[in-house]
Amino acid sequence: MHRSLWGLWAIGVISAIFAAGLRWQIERQYQTVALIVDGNEVRTLQALTGKPMAEILNGLKQSNATGVAVSAELLTDLVQIGKVQVKGESLVASSPEILSRVRNSIESQFGVQLPEPRKELSEWVLNLPSPNLLASPIFVGLDKELAEAARKVGLSVVARLPNPVGLTETGLRFWIDEIRDVNAFAAMFEGEEVFGYRTLLPAVADAFKQTDCQVGILELVSQKGDKSLASMLPEKVVRVHSVSARELVNFSQPELVDRFVRAVRERNIRLCYIRIPFHLKGDPLTVAQEYLSTLSRELSQKGFLMGTPSPMPSSTIPIWLWGLICLGAVTTGIAFLCLFVPLSTFQQWGLTLIGIAAGIFLRALHPILAAKLVALGIAIVAPVLAVWFGARQTLRSGSRWKRATMGIATCLAMTVACGLVEAAAMFDHRFWLKISEFSGVKVSQLLPFLLFIVVVFSQWMDTAELEIRERYRIAQSNFQSLFETPVRWGQAIGTLALIAVVAYWLVRTGNEPGLGVPMWELKLRAAIEDFLGIRPRFKEFLIGHPMLVLSFFFLTGTHLEAKIGQWLTIPAVIGLASVMNTFSHAHTPIALSLLRTFHGIWLGVFIGVSLVLALKWFSAARDRQLRNLSFAAKSEPTQAGLGQG
């Protein structure tokens, strides 16, 4: 690529660094976390301990709980606890208030007109038009009694909304009024569907826009309609982490605390939905208080505040700044294209201008799609480009270590620079809240790997000084000989093994990996995280970067060593693609992505240099042994001659 376009690339990288600084400033102000205790479990605590509700809630508040989640009450719940009785076609209660509440909820949700409750002797009676009305679940509203008790001790309230059967716009207004009545700062959703799924989601979004209530979106668990609703309410979304009741019994308290701290720190979680670990031994209230105190203490040590989180501010960058960032991505693509296609300076500039114009036009038309395409494009080409230019540094004059060091530094610096451009392309709070996310994770990991296999096998690096036609002729000849050569059993087994390893790698990669993480790996991750503060990726510091060091050291050696080095660049690409994948996780704060990358680099380089030194020591020991054997072989005839004499 022409030097003038490298200047434009540098402008794009500098713009990306500037955008990273802006993002860091926004993220460091978004540090308030809510610890919300499940309301049904608060009532279980009261039943188990026999203590007044106010004392239970005060104890939780003193342990730094910030709020309580109140669920919707069913009419059958009121019947079970004895507040309401069913007699024929009537509901009977000791006070008119509870019957008036039932009457209001039925009228508001179903549009059925009911008479006023009337008094008969010492009881109050509400007549129903038909007993069939009781055949389906009837929600009477949120648990206002618990909400009122929570507010009295200074706890905030989160509403847990069901998705009632037959919900209408009239019923929608009823539930929005319920949210206002309990003064909930956020709403979450019960069951497998969000409130209003499937036909009323636009109306639900419009209704929430008229309130101060945020919308809690669970991570790791998909509820039907959650992404659609979140996309309609990006300014209202708060990310929620929870451990299901089924999972809870598999964790100790330290493991639960680590899980929540990691979620808050690494994935922009700002609402921790706490279920009480009743399976742990001890007084239930004491266990709950210790759990909450430990969690809040750990979060405070990481710089977070306990309280009611505000929504993440709407954050985008001006079109001119995004255009400069896009310039960095486009010129990266031009540089990649120039590796395989001879382009004149005029053609390079023309393609650059076309790419920038198309990017800005698409940005104006569909910002999220434009960001995804730019991020995916640079994620695919950057690893290949970085290895190529790093390898070119090994051809310079100087000592072997100097040339290898220059190559490694060039490769890693270019990868990190492109990673910042990738992250800056997704400068939007919708990416940071994972309302939208990077698309094509597996493609961005596999394609660079396959591309470099083609580069190495075609001898594209060896023929860099030849004319382009001759290079393609040699590449074609190499592939033709590959396909014409009979396949041996050893080659077939090796190929199948490689395919299996690559398949396992891809299944483990992605926004939603297809395979779980084994327990030994989880423990190793936790140990590394305790030591470094943030865990680098295994693919980087155990595979990719050590292979990068080895490959570049071999590239500076003899012809045979250089051939070995070229093949070692293939696994090295895995680590570089992983770095790009780190920056594609836009919901991870940018400072943590940089720190994770830094730890991966120094650890991987350290392991790689250790391997090089071990190989040099082994080679020197082998040479000494061969010299000794040669000397012994030469001295034997001499000694034999002396014996004969």
Among 306, 338, 365, the domain-final residue is 306
Cβ(42)–Cβ(146) under 8 Å? yes
Tens of pLDDT along 280-289? Answer: 999 999 999 9
* 345 in the same domain as 299: no
| In a domain? residue 645 | no
Please, which pLDDT band fits residue 241 given cuts at 50, 70 and 90? very high
276, 211: one domain:
yes
> Is 422's pLDDT higher than 70?
yes
Give yes or no: residues 345 and 291 share one domain: no
Q: What CATH number should be reported for the domain holding residue 263? A: 3.20.20.370
Reduce the DSSP state of residue 329 to 3 states and report it.
Answer: helix
| Whether 292 and 326 share a structural domain | no
Give residue-wise pLDDT tens across range 17-53. Answer: 999 999 999 999 999 999 999 999 999 999 999 999 9
Of the three residues 252, 277, 306, the one that is the final residue of a domain is 306
CA 295 to chain centre: 22
Statement to judge: residues 358 and 238 lie in one domain: no
Q: Let me know if 427 is exposed, middle or buried by CB neighbors in 10 A (0-12, 13-18, 19+).
A: buried
CA distance 304 to 296: 9
Contact present, 329 and 421 (Cβ < 8 Å): yes
Q: Last residue of a domain, which of 273, 306, 339?
A: 306
Report pLDDT digits (tens) over 330-386: 999 999 999 999 999 999 999 999 999 999 999 999 999 999 999 999 999 999 999
Summarize the confidence of residues 432-453 as an average pLDDT: 92
Pair 560, 497 in one domain = yes
Evaluate whether residue 93 is within a structural domain: no
pLDDT above 70: percentage of residues in the chain = 95
Report the C-alpha gap between 440 and 585 in whole angstroms: 12
Q: Rounded distance, CA 506 to CA 358, Å?
A: 31
Distance (Å, whole) CA 260 – CA 277 = 14
133 located within any domain: no
Domain match, 337 and 406 both? yes
The structure tokens 């679940």 sit at 137
357 and 285 belong to one structural domain = no
- DSSP per residue, 560-580: HHHHHHHHHHHHHHHHHHHHH
> How far does CA 526 lie from the centroid of its chain?
17
d(CA 311, CA 215): 9
The token pair at 143 is 């648990």
The per-residue pLDDT for 637 is: 62
pLDDT of residue 23: 96
Residues 287, 396, single domain; the answer is no
With respect to residue 187, please indicate whether it lies within any of the assigned structural domains.
Answer: yes
Asked if the model's pLDDT at residue 514 lies above 70, the reply is no
The pLDDT assigned to 645 comes to 47
pLDDT confidence of 510, banded at 50, 70, 90? low
Structural element, H or E, at residue 38: strand 32-38
| Cβ 285 vs Cβ 49: under 8 Å | yes
What is the predicted pLDDT for the residue at 416? 97
> What is the number of structural domains in the chain?
2
Q: Does one domain contain both 153 and 279?
A: yes
- Is pLDDT at 63 greater than 90 in this prediction? yes
Is 131 a member of any domain? Answer: no
Residue 270 preceded by cis peptide, ω within 30: no
User: Is 129 inside a domain boundary?
Assistant: no
Determine if residue 41 is left, alpha or beta; phi over 0 gives left, psi from -120 to 50 gives alpha, anything else beta: alpha
Residue 221 CA, chain-centre distance (Å), reads 13
302 and 326 inside one domain? no
Domain that holds residue 602: 3-23+314-621
Same domain, 356 and 290: no
Tokens of 497: 């093994």
DSSP per-residue letters across 182-227: HT-SEEEE-TTB-TTTTTTHHHHHHHHHTSS-EEEEESSS--BTHH
* Neighbouring residues of 130: CB distance < 8 A, sequence distance ≥ 6: 89
In a domain, 630, yes or no: no
pLDDT tens digit string along 545-598? 999 999 999 999 888 899 999 999 999 999 999 999 999 999 999 999 999 999
Residue 528 lies in a domain: yes
